[in-house]
């Protein structure tokens, strides 16, 4: 279950195309997200949302106290879950100016409208847009194992674990968890593979479980 806040209300439309969204009946309005967070992407999808705009800027620059971290993780979780459904997400991101490559860990998500912070942010955003596709970093659960398939770094990386503590840790981390409450050895393994993002005191799970396959799952 989520330990984070729900993000503020979003704007939503029934179509991906901005021109089509201008037609009568296509704007769904400002939709509140009362939670629980793990069910919000499904609720938006069932309401007909195919284009969603988040308010404000997701800010990963500098430190974050617990409340700020919870809000950031909630917004990132919504972007991730909507990306998994191939919903067009309009959002803005601010990264740490000291780390010009930090955006790559998020490059499996729908590219933001604006990227701020690191030097060369405009070129980084162009690279993100050119290289983005669905299923770039996903996880799946099989009988007795979990597997992550990750192409964020230019080649396929696979991480497979059969120990039940890994699956339990993913459930903890899915919507943010205090890092000190996750088994250290498992969290270190995930960090080593850049599968979690540290946001203040929280650790957050980056890969998504795909909701819409582009092609047969065995190909992905």
Rounded Cα–Cα distance for residues 55 and 70 (Å): 16
Q: Which residue range(s) make up the domain with 64?
A: 10-131
Reported as half-sphere exposure (CB side, CA atoms, 13 A), residue 46 has a value of 5
pLDDT the model gives residue 1: 44
> For 93-130, how does the pLDDT look when each residue is reduced to its tens digit (9 = 90+)?
999 888 878 899 999 999 999 999 888 999 999 999 99
Together in a domain, 53 and 121: yes
Residue 165 has pLDDT above 50, yes or no: yes
End of a domain among 96, 131, 166? 131
Helices 184-192 and 164-173: crossing angle in degrees, nearest 10, is: 80
Residue 45 has pLDDT above 80, yes or no: yes
Q: Model confidence at 220, in pLDDT bands (50, 70, 90)?
A: very low
Together in a domain, 22 and 99: yes
Q: Model confidence at 9, in pLDDT bands (50, 70, 90)?
A: very high
Together in a domain, 34 and 116: yes
Domain count along the chain: 2
Together in a domain, 65 and 110: yes
**Average pLDDT of 4-33?**
92
217 falls within a domain: no
Q: Other CB atoms closer than 10 Å to residue 9's CB: what's the count?
A: 14
pLDDT the model gives residue 4: 58
Together in a domain, 142 and 104: no
pLDDT the model gives residue 215: 53
pLDDT the model gives residue 155: 94
pLDDT the model gives residue 210: 73
Contacting residues for 118 by C-beta, under 8 A, at least 6 apart: 95, 96, 97, 98, 99, 100, 101, 102, 103, 124
Together in a domain, 121 and 161: no
pLDDT the model gives residue 43: 95
CA dihedral 34, 9, 63, 101 (to 10 degrees): 120
Residue 214 has pLDDT above 60, yes or no: no
51 within 8 A of 87, measured Cβ to Cβ? yes
Together in a domain, 98 and 192: no
Choice among 130-134, 170-174, 216-220 with the minimum mean pLDDT: 216-220
């Amino acid at each position: 279950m989520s330990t984070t806040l729900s993000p503020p209300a979003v704007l939503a439309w029934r179509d991906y195309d901005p021109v089509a969204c201008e037609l009568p009946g296509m704007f769904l309005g400002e939709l509140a997200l009362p939670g629980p967070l793990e069910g919000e992407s499904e609720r938006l999808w069932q309401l007909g949302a195919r284009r969603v705009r988040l308010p404000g800027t997701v800010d990963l620059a500098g430190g974050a106290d617990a409340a700020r971290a919870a809000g950031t993780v909630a917004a990132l979780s919504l972007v991730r879950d909507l990306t998994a459904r191939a919903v067009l997400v309009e959002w803005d991101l601010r990264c740490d100016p000291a780390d010009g490559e930090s955006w790559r860990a998020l490059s499996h998500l729908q590219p933001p409208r604006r990227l701020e912070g690191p030097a060369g942010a405009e070129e980084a955003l162009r690279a993100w847009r050119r290289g983005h596709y669905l299923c770039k970093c996903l996880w799946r659960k099989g009988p007795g194992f979990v597997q992550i398939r990750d192409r964020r770094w230019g080649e396929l990386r696979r991480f497979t674990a059969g120990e039940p503590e890994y699956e339990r840790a993913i459930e903890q981390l899915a919507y943010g968890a205090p890092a000190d409450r996750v088994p250290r050895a498992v969290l270190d393994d995930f960090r080593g593979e850049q599968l979690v993002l540290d946001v203040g005191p929280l650790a957050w799970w980056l890969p998504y479980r795909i909701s819409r396959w582009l092609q047969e799952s065995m190909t992905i």
